Amino acid sequence: MTAKLLQPNTASKISVKPSITIIVSPRECFGYTQQSLDSVYKHTKIPFELIYVDAGSPRHIHRYLVNAASKQGFTLLRTDHFLSPNQARNLGLSQVTTDYVAFLDNDVHVSSGWLENLLRCAQETDATVVSPLTCVGKPLHDRIHLAGGEARIFMDIKGEQIRRRLYKKSFLANRSAAMIKHQLYRRACEFAELQCMLVKRDIFERIGYLDENLLGTQEDMDFSLTVNRAGGQMFCEPTAVVTHVPQTSYRWTDLAYFTLRWSDAWEVASLMHFQQKWDLDLDEYFMQRYKQLGRRRRQALLYPLIHRLTQGKPGSRLEAVVIGLERWINQIMTDRHGHLSNNTVRKLVPANGSVGVPTRNALRKQKLRLSALKQKSAAVRLSQHPHLMPH
């Protein structure tokens, strides 16, 4: 992985040492980068540090982030190729020294007081994880995506058959936040999503860093289950409101990452790893997920194209041909990404608008830190799952 770290000089406009570091990382596209980042600086009134993980964004986005880092004084990590969400988050997490870390996807729009209210909840409840009221789409902060949830593994016993299965429930999904204000209150929960959450950093000393084998799915569930198993408390704080803003149209420069992020190969690998890691039976849930491979790509990209080509006629032979061709191309692109193996890390320090050249010692320390991070995370995961230990 080739990474460039842009970090402002040590002079700071903030006299109070921040207790929170915000890590912004890519979800699936780059088109909402500026709006999301602008919302953070507009609506966050308490001191914070910010690390922005720029994983292979197009040139115009990268130029904007370089300028924004110089102006706002945040740390910018640049990789020259795409990363999975957990890879990007771990890269940012390796730089954090504050007591709390707030994960934030690059297509999330925050509202006034979001971070202050998350921190207040964490301090008042001693929670390990606090999630906001997460909405989706426009108008902003209206249609609820997640207001906390339940997540656990249970034993399904039917006669002599015993199956180890996954249970998940999302609270108040698809409801209007304005219409159900009376139902929105701080509550303990078992499930939160990494697209926006506040986490006590010391939990990672106990559970290891985020599982990078989960490339395209189940990272939220895996983290929630892991925190719950470690005895960490989770809360949803509805006075902290954010909105995930999906792309409605896609630039050509977004397509490569979007199709990799939701590739069949990444999803299959993630589902298989998650099932084996938590020793779950191959039940209807997993079978349905395998049947739906590529669903996000088809809904966002293929179906609108097919609708225009077939003039809306269902069951066209052209639809099957287009879907089959897209899957073949998707596999080629995913294989090509998998062959990238450059792990060089470079550290650049801008001062007075210019970018300094990193020293060899700085490069070596950065590489060693990331290497140690991955080794520690892997060791913790293996120790928690003895059946995965090599014999």
The residue whose two tokens read 């925190």 is: 227
Q: In 3D, which of 322, 293, 300, 299 has the Cα closest to residue 310?
A: 322
Range of the domain at 325: 252-336
Query: 342 falls in which pLDDT band (50, 70, 90)?
Result: low
At 137, which CATH number? 3.90.550.10
Q: CA-CA distance, 142 to 222, in Å (whole number)? A: 28
Query: 173 falls in which pLDDT band (50, 70, 90)?
Result: very high
Looking at the structure, tell me whether residues 43 and 161 fall in a common domain.
yes
Quote the pLDDT of residue 301.
86
Q: In 3D, which of 346, 350, 359, 366 has the Cα closest to residue 11?
A: 350
Q: Which of 296, 316, 336 is the last residue of a domain?
A: 336
Quote the pLDDT of residue 321.
87
Quote the pLDDT of residue 219.
98
Please check whether residue 44 is in contact with residue 259, taking contact to mean a CB–CB distance below 8 angstroms. no
Q: How many domains does the chain divide into? A: 2
Looking at the structure, tell me whether residues 353 and 215 fall in a common domain.
yes
Q: Which of 319, 336, 353 is the last residue of a domain?
A: 336
Looking at the structure, tell me whether residues 326 and 351 fall in a common domain.
no
Quote the pLDDT of residue 16.
75
Q: What angle do helix axes 317-338 and 303-310 make, rounded to 10 degrees?
A: 150
Looking at the structure, tell me whether residues 206 and 342 fall in a common domain.
yes
Looking at the structure, tell me whether residues 142 and 264 fall in a common domain.
no
Looking at residues 16-39, what average pLDDT do you find?
Answer: 96
DSSP string of 101-167, one letter each residue: EEEEETTEEE-TTHHHHHHHHHHHHT-SEEEEEEEESSSTTTBEEES-EEEEEEEEEETTEEEEEEE
The residue whose two tokens read 């880092």 is: 69
Looking at the structure, tell me whether residues 29 and 130 fall in a common domain.
yes
Quote the pLDDT of residue 357.
31
Top pLDDT among 365 and 79 is at: 79
Work out the angle at residue 259's Cα, subtended by the Cα atoms of residues 254 and 265, and round it to the nearest 5 degrees: 155
Looking at residues 23-52, what average pLDDT do you find?
Answer: 97
Looking at the structure, tell me whether residues 137 and 43 fall in a common domain.
yes
Looking at the structure, tell me whether residues 182 and 290 fall in a common domain.
no
Q: CA-CA distance, 91 to 341, in Å (whole number)? A: 16
Please check whether residue 264 is in contact with residue 216, taking contact to mean a CB–CB distance below 8 angstroms. no
Quote the pLDDT of residue 251.
82
Query: 350 falls in which pLDDT band (50, 70, 90)?
Result: very low
Looking at the structure, tell me whether residues 21 and 124 fall in a common domain.
yes
Q: Among 40-44, 186-190, 317-321, where is mean pLDDT lowest?
A: 317-321
Quote the pLDDT of residue 353.
38
pTM, rounded to two decimals: 0.86
Q: Which of 293, 309, 336 is the last residue of a domain?
A: 336
Top pLDDT among 291 and 364 is at: 291
Looking at the structure, tell me whether residues 129 and 273 fall in a common domain.
no
Looking at the structure, tell me whether residues 207 and 329 fall in a common domain.
no
Looking at the structure, tell me whether residues 127 and 138 fall in a common domain.
yes
